[in-house]
Amino acid sequence: MASYTAPAAVSSSLMFLFTKRAQTVNNICLLSRRCTAGSCCRRLFSSSVSSRSSSDSPGSRDILGHFERLVRRGSLATDAQQRYVLQRLALLQKSLNTYTNSTYLNPPPHSKDHSGQPQKNDAPAAETEPLLKGSQPPPKGLYIYGNVGTGKTMLMDLFYSHVENGRKKRVHFNSFMLDIHKRIHRRKQSLPKRSLGKMFTYDPISPVAMEISSEICLLCFDEFQVTDVADAMILTQLFETLFKTGVVVVATSNRPPDDLYKNGLQRDTFLPFIDVLKEYCHTVCLDSGIDYRRLDRPAAGKLYYLTGEPGAEAYLDTLFEELALRQKSVTGPRVLRVMGRDVTLQKACGSIADCTFDELCGKPMGASDYLEMARIFDTVFIRRVPTLTLTLKDQARRFTTLIDNFYDQKVRVVLLAAAPLEQLFVQTGGEDERDRQLLDDLGLSDEAAERLTLFTAEEEIFAFRRTVSRLREMQTETYWVEGDRSYSGRRLKS
């Protein structure tokens, strides 16, 4: 029976992919009418900005005017909280169009490094002088937090697209931290070899921050979330240097500042970062109580299958084969080179990958692997996703990172899962043998295990709400049409 029904089901999923390609992003956006937090509006903002000519009216760079026009057209819903946040962003945008942080980048007097050679720019002037005499403090950034689907990313992207300053960068927090670790590694590798009996210490964090400050003066983060103890350890020094050298930060997060890295390992060392963040960024809450991704929008056919459904595997096989027919490639294994190591995917064809959950999340993989996949593939099948319990919190953490990176790069997904989306993560299960071993290795008590998110999976549970919300949007028509890179010419965000 499955062999006869599969083509019809697949045809529904393919309809938008192959028959709607000629629609512009503008038209796509209007189809959803209330896509306040959707990808369609984000792409609309960036495309409309890039297509403006020099003959545009003086008010064309007005963020609030742009927002109001979208509301009048029905592309966005009326939301008083969004308008308030945008007013704050509009004030910042005006101060950034002509802003430069060069005033804060003057190097300190020459000093000698561990090799005895003169050294420049390895520590910010701000470390010896918080601000140059007579200079004005840099503009304060914004930290926007609130529940999933409220439009935080959409507003930040609208703000970013209207800032005319060329020294700006918009990046997902995972990607940013990967870049930081790579820069730290490069600096350590470039150190001269130590002579026998000679010891020296070298702290690369401030030099790395100075390096970034010399490249940009506006840094926009999406999904500021700290779960890694290694990240937590370097954030205070990194951001204190960035802020003191005039980098303005705008960030979105699901958590208020005081809840960042909540109950994390060695959190005491992270707390100074929260004070630094509050000093240099205004904190704004955006939480109208509406998850706009839950609003009804046209679906791109059936893209989420249950393993218990008759013929579910056959549906995915047929859908993959139909998509593969349009690729100028053959189906087979693909080896990705990621940070000096090989990651092998068993089945891929052109820009399409067909993977199992265990292949992507059942082994030590992380944001760097998923970003490389997002660079190569615009469509990824993920089969046999299990019900994620607390015993599988490592896999759940990887799955959340996977979806975060795919969503940020507009990678399309087709899933075959053990449970409906809303029931995919359940708070059952508990301590496993590895937790017990880790407790012993760290010298922690059972009482600590009841509190630390490393063992309770509190962070995974919190983050998975975002995963569910994003997967819901990733099944819509607008998301799928825009994710077709052969039509849109999209490239991976830097």
Q: Dig out the tokens for 80 from the structure.
A: 């008083």
Residues 19, 29: Cα–Cα separation, whole Å: 17
Looking at the fold, whether 206 and 312 belong to one and the same domain comes out as no
Name the domain count of the chain: 2
Q: How confident is the model at residue 493 (pLDDT cuts 50, 70, 90)?
A: low
Q: Is residue 449 part of a domain?
A: yes
**How many residues make up the chain in this entry?**
494
Identify the band that residue 346 occupies on the pLDDT scale cut at 50, 70 and 90. very high
Give the N- to C-terminal CA distance of the chain in Å, as an integer.
46
Which residue has better confidence, 437 or 252? 252
Cα 230 from Cα 242, distance rounded (Å): 18
The answer to whether residues 425 and 373 belong to one domain is: yes
Name 107's Cβ contacts closer than 8 Å, sequence gap at least 6. Answer: 120, 121, 125
Tell me, yes or no, whether 193 and 316 share the same domain.
no
Cβ-based neighbour number of residue 272 at 10 Å: 14
Q: What percent of the chain has pLDDT over 90?
A: 42
Amino acid at 124: P
Claim to verify: residue 458 and residue 310 sit in the same structural domain: yes
**Which residue among 223, 255, 285 closes a domain?**
285
Please tell me whether residues 412 and 267 are part of one structural domain: no
Residues 278 and 335 in one domain: no
* Domain end residue (candidates: 258, 285, 312): 285
Q: Indicate whether 189 and 104 sit together in one domain.
A: yes
- 336: which strand partners? 343
Domain for residue 484, yes or no? no
Q: Are 390 and 365 in contact (CB under 8 A)?
A: no
pLDDT at 289: 77
pLDDT at 52 (0 to 100): 33
Are 327 and 203 in a shared domain? no
Cα–Cα–Cα angle for 485, 488, 491, rounded to 5 degrees: 55
In a domain, 433, yes or no: yes
Per-residue pLDDT band at 446 (split at 50, 70, 90):
low
Give the Cα separation of 451 and 7 in Å (integer).
51
Is a pLDDT exceeding 90 seen at residue 274?
Answer: yes
pLDDT at 121: 43
Give a yes or no: residue 11 inside a domain. Answer: no
334-341 contacts at long range (C-beta below 8 A, 24 or more positions apart): 334/376, 336/369, 336/372, 336/373, 336/376, 337/372, 338/368, 338/369, 338/372, 339/182, 339/368
Work out the angle at residue 481's Cα, subtended by the Cα atoms of residues 475 and 316, and round it to the nearest 5 degrees: 50
DSSP 144: E
Q: Is residue 265 part of a domain?
A: yes
Q: What are the DSSP E strand ranges found in 226-270?
A: 248-253
- pLDDT for res 229: 80
423 vs 428: CA distance, rounded Å: 12
Rounded-to-integer distance, Cα 190 and Cα 178, Å: 19
Q: Is residue 64 in some structural domain?
A: no
Whether residue 462 sits in one domain with residue 365: yes
Which of the four pLDDT bands, split at 50, 70 and 90, describes residue 291?
A: confident
- Asked whether the CA dihedral 325, 329, 330, 334 is positive or negative, the reply is negative
The confidence band for 315, taking pLDDT boundaries of 50, 70 and 90, is very high
SS3 252: strand
Cα atoms in the Cβ-side hemisphere of radius 13 Å centred on 149: 20
pLDDT of residue 358: 97
User: Strand 352-356 and strand 379-385: pairing?
Assistant: parallel
Angle at which helices 367-376 and 393-408 pack, to 10 degrees? 40
The CATH number of whichever domain residue 257 belongs to comes to 3.40.50.300
Nearest Cα residue to 159 out of 259, 45, 263, 238: 45
Question: Comparing 292 with 111, which gets the higher pLDDT?
Answer: 292
130 vs 482, more confident:
482
Does 322 share its domain with 458? Answer: yes
Do 226 and 114 share a structural domain? yes
Q: Which domain holds residue 276?
A: 95-285
Over residues 106-154, the pLDDT tens digits come to 654 444 444 444 444 444 444 434 445 446 789 999 999 998 888 898 9
Mean pLDDT of all residues in 46-50: 36
Which residue has better confidence, 341 or 447?
A: 341
Say if residue 6's pLDDT is above 50: no
pLDDT for 391: 81
Residue 50 lies in a domain: no
CATH code for position 389: 3.40.50
Whether residue 335 lies inside any domain: the answer is yes
pLDDT tens digits for range 232-265: 889 999 999 999 999 999 999 988 999 988 877 7
Same domain, 269 and 359: no
